[in-house]
Amino acid sequence: MTSTNIIACIFIFFVLPLEGPVLIDGDPPGKQTDLSSIEDNREKLNQMIELAEQALKKKKSFNVAVEMVKKAFALTKENHMKVPYNLNWLQAKVAFQKGNIYLAEAAMEKTLKQLQHSGEIKAVIKAQNFYAKILYKKGELSKALEIYQKNMKMARDNDMTSVYLESINRQAGIYRYLGDIDESKKFYHSLYAESDLVKDTFWMTEALFRLGSIALTVDSNFRKAAKYQSNCLHIARLARDTSRMAWTMNHLAWNLYLLNEKDSSLALYNKLIKLSIKAKMPEMVTNSLGNIGTIYRDKKEFSMAEKYYQKSIDNALDDRNKDNLRWIHQDISDMYVTMGDYKKAYKNYVQFKLYSDSLNNMKFDRGLAEARMKYDVDQQKKEVELLNMELDKQRYFTYGFASLFILIIAVGLLVIRQYRLNARRKISEMNQRMSEITQANLRQQMNPHFIFNTLNSIQYYMYQHDKVATNNYLTKFSSLIRKILENSQHTSILIKDEMEALQLYLELEKLRFKDKFSYEIDVDEEIDILQNKIPTMLIQPYVENAICHGLVNKEDSGELKIALSLEYDYISCVIEDNGIGREAATEIRKSKEFNHNSLGTRITESRLDLVNALYGTSLKVIYSDLKNDAGEAIGTRVEIHIPIMS
């Protein structure tokens, strides 16, 4: 921790009181806010949020923002106040800047939930854009892209130009990350055209800067890159955007170097140094000095090269910039090899390796920290679930004890009988709870198994590098995963939800096996799919068996029929295929030395037993082998009797 951060922490914890004057770094003394003068808690909370927002915009006041958010949450807790959406949003921003992506995601999900029925459409659009930014950081690119696409239209319809342009820019960045350069260019050109219409110089320069970067690093079209960079620099100068000017000059100077226009590159780097010093951008100064050293090295002016390399190293050491130190020592080592001074070349190469290893270790530690953070979040969720279960058990015990005490006083003659009844009821409740826990554990085993099988469906086209098919797979797969995650939160779900998940699964399997089979789903009109429920993920394992063991091994294309009909007191689900039959499938498994029963089917059968025990139903599964007149197998029929639940 640097001395600046230590001083900031001391200031926050020992100088800044909960209800005292707060001064944001960079504000005039007369602008300080005295929270102790505010009596109304709601007004005080709003003031804290406003101060935190102001501090968050200034890098030097970030620790003030963090502490203010903590105190705002403490105020809501102490006074039993509802946490407003903008405080949750603020927490997400703080967590995002600190690199705690999972906390940022959780806080933003709370924000969006609060805004869902608020009617504040513009706040919703802005919140969705920030949520998509978090998802992008997490690596959930398809989900982030989907939100940006929807948000772009909503922002345009609501005259939110800045959010509209940001959505275009984010989509361009995602496509570039995915390697779809043509689509990325298309969005950056659109960004420039749209921002030019409203004369938004920030997004105009952003589009030109990114197009120049693609031309330089991807297309290796240095002339085209120089054109984009020159236009970007011209607009940045008119807008007096010092930061953009510095970055663009840096890229343009390097581009001129690659074009072998070393004198022009040298002149531009010298201008960049002056601008960077004025703009307080020490890393840019270091980078420019190092690149000037490289130019002199290539011009064989080694004494000048050594001079600028040393200046660059001194600056990098002051800033503790290991990345700059890494490449500078590498370039110096190359220079000394050219000069024939292998001792100095070796010395600088050792420094290059030390800084490279240090940077790699930092990346590893950062990845480890992120993994640990995710683990901690998951553990916290599990602890909360266990705590809720314990509270439920305590509540049940309290209710039972109170009921027993009242019954003893009111009905003294029946105390023994009533005691036995209560004892039986408690045992029954405990058994029911144990059944629910067991069922939840089985469901946790089901989900990973099902996801693994579905991922196998995507693998083929990814190896074939078929972008369209892969994208189609990923879209359906993401929808299926979302369905599974939603459905797995419940012991039973609506038939409609089960059918939708099953439909997605069948579509993926059909694509995977290249239309090896066709399928048909028929639901009796008498069944109320919006009211009636069935146990979660009940049908899919049997459908999976029909496909993998019956239809896939069939030489020609097969057919799969799924029919749900309403009987007297249950729903009959019939899964019928015209595959090779169970006996032939068993022989194939034996010939392949594949002695493995379907985990999904076994888990499902265990769940059927639990459902019967829990609800006193007669849920059962009937297998039938279909044969023709000659006694040859022509398929398999599975009938599941599902109790009607609502």
CA distance 299 to 65: 50
Q: What was the pLDDT predicted at 461?
A: 63
Residue 547, pLDDT > 60, answer: yes
Q: What is the pLDDT averaged over residues 21-35?
A: 47
Eight-class DSSP state of 488: T
More confident residue, 611 or 136: 136
Q: Place 282 in a pLDDT band, splitting at 50, 70 and 90.
A: confident
Amino acid symbol at 564: L
Contact 393, 426 (CB under 8 A): no
Q: Place 22 in a pLDDT band, splitting at 50, 70 and 90.
A: very low
Greatest mean pLDDT range, 353-357, 387-391, 545-549: 545-549
Q: Place 460 in a pLDDT band, splitting at 50, 70 and 90.
A: low
Amino acid symbol at 618: S
CA distance 235 to 644: 68
User: Which positions ≥6 away from 89 have C-beta within 8 Å?
Assistant: 107, 108, 111, 127, 130
Q: What was the pLDDT predicted at 523?
A: 93
Q: Place 118 in a pLDDT band, splitting at 50, 70 and 90.
A: confident
Helices (H), 259-321: 262-278, 282-298, 302-319
| Candidate from 154-168, 355-369, 504-518 with smallest mean pLDDT | 355-369
Asked whether the whole model's pTM tops 0.75, one would answer no
Q: What tens digit of pLDDT does each residue of 307-328 get?
A: 988 888 888 887 777 777 888 8
CA distance 554 to 570: 33
Residue 27, pLDDT > 80, answer: no
Q: What was the pLDDT predicted at 187?
A: 92
SS3 637: strand
Q: What is the pLDDT averaged over residues 110-121?
A: 87
Mean pLDDT score of the chain:
79
Q: What was the pLDDT predicted at 37?
A: 46
Q: What was the pLDDT predicted at 560?
A: 93
- Tell me the two tokens of residue 555: 């030489």
CA distance 130 to 312: 37
CA distance 123 to 126: 5
Residue 445, pLDDT > 80, answer: no
Q: What was the pLDDT predicted at 333?
A: 85
The helix (run of H) or strand (run of E) holding residue 82 is: none
Q: What was the pLDDT predicted at 375?
A: 61
Contact 601, 542 (CB under 8 A): yes
Eight-class DSSP state of 83: P
Contact 422, 397 (CB under 8 A): no
Greatest mean pLDDT range, 251-265, 312-326, 591-605: 251-265
Q: Which domains does the chain have, with CATH numbers?
A: 1-82 (no CATH), 99-198 (1.25.40.10), 201-276 (1.25.40.10), 458-643 (3.30.565.10)
CA distance 286 to 21: 39
Q: What tens digit of pLDDT does each residue of 54-72 get?
A: 888 776 678 888 888 888 8
Contact 302, 335 (CB under 8 A): yes
Q: What is the pLDDT averaged over residues 188-208?
A: 91
Burial of residue 389 (CB within 10 Å: 0-12, 13-18, 19+) is middle
- Tell me the two tokens of residue 294: 């490289």
Report how far apart the first and last C-alpha atoms of the chain are (Å, whole number): 59
Chain centroid to Cα 551, Å, comes to 37
Amino acid symbol at 238: L
| Candidate from 6-20, 26-40, 241-255, 607-621 with smallest mean pLDDT | 6-20
Q: What angle do CA 90, 279, 268 make, to 5 degrees?
A: 130
More confident residue, 99 or 187: 187
Q: What was the pLDDT predicted at 32?
A: 47
Q: What was the pLDDT predicted at 441?
A: 44
Amino acid symbol at 581: G
CA distance 281 to 476: 46
Regarding beta strands 517-523 and 558-566, do their DSSP bridges make them parallel or antiparallel, or are they unpaired? parallel
CA distance 13 to 174: 41
More confident residue, 471 or 207: 207
Q: Place 617 in a pLDDT band, splitting at 50, 70 and 90.
A: low
Residue 571 phi, psi dihedral angles, 5° rounding: -105, 130
User: Which positions ≥6 away from 17 have C-beta within 8 Å?
Assistant: 36
Q: What tens digit of pLDDT does each residue of 568-591 get?
A: 888 999 999 998 888 888 888 777
Q: What is the pLDDT averaged over residues 626-640?
A: 90
Share of the chain above pLDDT 90, in %: 11
Eight-class DSSP state of 513: T
Q: What is the pLDDT averaged over residues 436-455?
A: 54
Residue 594 phi, psi dihedral angles, 5° rounding: -110, 85
Q: What was the pLDDT predicted at 575?
A: 95
CA distance 266 to 291: 9
CA distance 138 to 108: 14
Contact 24, 55 (CB under 8 A): yes
- Tell me the two tokens of residue 115: 């805004």
Q: What was the pLDDT predicted at 245?
A: 86
Contact 469, 461 (CB under 8 A): yes
Residue 449, pLDDT > 60, answer: no
Identify the bridge partners of residue 41 per DSSP, sorted by sequence position: none
SS (H, E, C) 344-406: HHHHHHHHHHHHHHHHHHHHHHHHHHHHHHHHHHHHHHHHHHHHHHHHHHHHHHHHHHHHHHH
CA distance 506 to 532: 22
What dihedral do alpha carbons 628, 634, 638, 639 form, nearest 10°?
Answer: -40
